Amino acid sequence: MILPQVTEKPTVIDVLDSAPKTYNSAFEEWTQGSGVSESITLFNVEPLTERGVVAKKLNKKKYFDKLPLGWWVSGLDLKTMHRQTFGQFKPKEPIQSPKAKKPAKYLTPTGGEYDAIALQHPDEDHWQRVLDDPSIPIALDEGAKKAGMLMTLGFVALALCGVWMGLKKGGKELVNNLALLAVQGRPITIVFDADLAYKTGIQLALKALATVLKQRGCIVSVAIIPLELEANGIDDVKIKHGEEMVKKIMADAIPYAQWLKNLEAQMSQPATSGGNQKSNPKPPTPRETAALIAEEYGHQWKFDNEQKEWRVYSGKHWEKVEIGNFETLLMRVVDAKNIAYT
């Protein structure tokens, strides 16, 4: 199915009547499962019903006969307003790689540059207006369905394909679409999943992203999804608790500086509880500390021997982390355990 260009709102009945069953499944996942409007779904979601097409999208032509079918989402290049070749693929079933401990729920193309996904909007002037007006706030989330849901509620939303994928390789520059929007004075709210509250790797990714955004003069805030809602993503919040709760979470976003202060206070809490705060005069040996961290974080961190690089599991897939960022992550974990080496 060829994705339509925005001219007028598509007729849902006409499209679904002629759509393959795989598209109906994807359509329901977006509209019913994540609360995305029918028009935004139709403009951006493409069923991939042939393995050769999947292989071409993912630049994996060598393995086309082993790839599953599923759906593909892509957005606009905000510089040209044309459809990007970059996008995100969700197979019908998660793919288990021999190198990964957990199966991947989503895949992005291998090779080339990745980017943030700017979903095509039913209003053809939507993104141009945002580019022209730095006072328009932007929500930045991980995942295209979440961005689609936020757009459905009237927010301007840009989707990252991973918590580390707002920055180019090297970690110092924003990806292209985000760089075009992240200008002086632009309010940007980062709304990652609820596990931001306790996953160190996601916290580090947010810090790295917010640092670059602030360097560009953006007004950065962080939206917090309360754990008690038992809804990990912002789209889950809408499905379980309704759109008013989504709007409240976005309205209650706190300045990045306050979020960082709260995080540092959380990380500095003593590892022991109760009234006895006397510290152990003799810290564990480096070997003991390494064993403790490996036991606690071994399911989230791994070293890729072939690529000679560290990777952190985001909850959906393994993401490469620059060695400097990983060292920072490691030291934060050590500091959080109140271990001081002299």
CB atoms under 10 Å from CB of 273, counted, come to 8
Residue 271 has pLDDT above 80, yes or no: no
Give, for 56, the enclosing helix (H) or strand (E).
helix 51-58
Instruction: State how beta strands 309-313 and 301-304 pair.
Output: antiparallel
For residues 227 and 301, state if they share a domain: no
Least confident of 31-35, 114-118, 215-219, 304-308: 304-308
- Show Cβ contacts of residue 295 under 8 Å, excluding neighbours closer than 6 positions: none
Dist CA 246 CA 281 (whole Å)? 47
Residue 13 has pLDDT above 60, yes or no: no
Interval 223-251: pLDDT, tens: 999 999 999 999 999 999 999 999 999 99
Tokens of 48: 């991939």
Indicate whether 172 belongs to any domain.
Answer: yes
Give, for 83, the enclosing helix (H) or strand (E).
strand 82-91
The number of C-alpha atoms within 13 Å of 209 and in the hemisphere containing its C-beta is: 31
Q: Using CA atoms of 123, 86, 89, 28 in order, give the dihedral in degrees to the nearest 10.
A: 0
Could you tell me the pLDDT band of residue 35, with boundaries at 50, 70 and 90?
very high
Tell whether pTM > 0.85. no
Dist CA 136 CA 180 (whole Å)? 13
Interval 107-137: pLDDT, tens: 899 888 999 999 999 999 999 999 999 999 9
Dist CA 295 CA 5 (whole Å)? 50
For residues 119 and 246, state if they share a domain: yes
Indicate whether 3 belongs to any domain.
Answer: no
Indicate whether 342 belongs to any domain.
Answer: no
CB 100 within 8 A of CB 303: no
Interval 56-97: pLDDT, tens: 898 886 665 678 889 999 999 999 999 999 999 999 888 877
Identify the domain boundary among 264, 289, 323: 264
Interval 134-161: pLDDT, tens: 999 999 999 999 999 999 999 999 999 9
Least confident of 10-19, 183-192, 193-202, 312-321: 10-19
For residues 47 and 116, state if they share a domain: yes
Q: What percent of the chain has pLDDT over 70?
A: 77
Identify the domain boundary among 232, 264, 296: 264
Indicate whether 269 belongs to any domain.
Answer: no
For residues 162 and 288, state if they share a domain: no
For residues 285 and 254, state if they share a domain: no
Q: Give the pLDDT confidence score for residue 308 in this predicted structure.
A: 73
Identify the domain boundary among 264, 293, 327: 264
For residues 120 and 259, state if they share a domain: yes
Based on the structure, what is the number of domains in the chain?
2
The radius of gyration of the chain's CA atoms, rounded to the nearest angstrom, is: 21
Indicate whether 148 belongs to any domain.
Answer: yes
Q: What angle do CA 328, 175, 52 make, to 5 degrees?
A: 110
Dist CA 339 CA 287 (whole Å)? 13
Query: What are the beta bridge partners of residue 89?
Result: 72, 107
For residues 285 and 226, state if they share a domain: no
Could you tell me the pLDDT band of residue 283, with boundaries at 50, 70 and 90?
low
Indicate whether 332 belongs to any domain.
Answer: yes
Tokens of 247: 């709007």
For residues 286 and 182, state if they share a domain: no
For residues 201 and 162, state if they share a domain: yes
Q: Which amino acid is at 175?
A: V
Indicate whether 219 belongs to any domain.
Answer: yes
Q: What angle do CA 262, 245, 147 make, to 5 degrees?
A: 85
Query: What are the beta bridge partners of residue 76?
Result: 83
What domain range is 287 assigned to?
A: 281-336
For residues 71 and 190, state if they share a domain: yes
Query: What are the beta bridge partners of residue 227?
Result: none
| Sheet with 70-77, side-by-side order of all strands | 45-48, 70-77, 82-91
More confident residue, 189 or 342: 189
Interval 296-332: pLDDT, tens: 676 677 777 777 777 777 656 677 777 767 776 777 6
For residues 160 and 50, state if they share a domain: yes
CATH code: domain of residue 201: 3.40.1360.10
Q: Give the pLDDT confidence score for residue 86 in this predicted structure.
A: 95
For residues 71 and 160, state if they share a domain: yes
SS3 324: helix
Indicate whether 272 belongs to any domain.
Answer: no
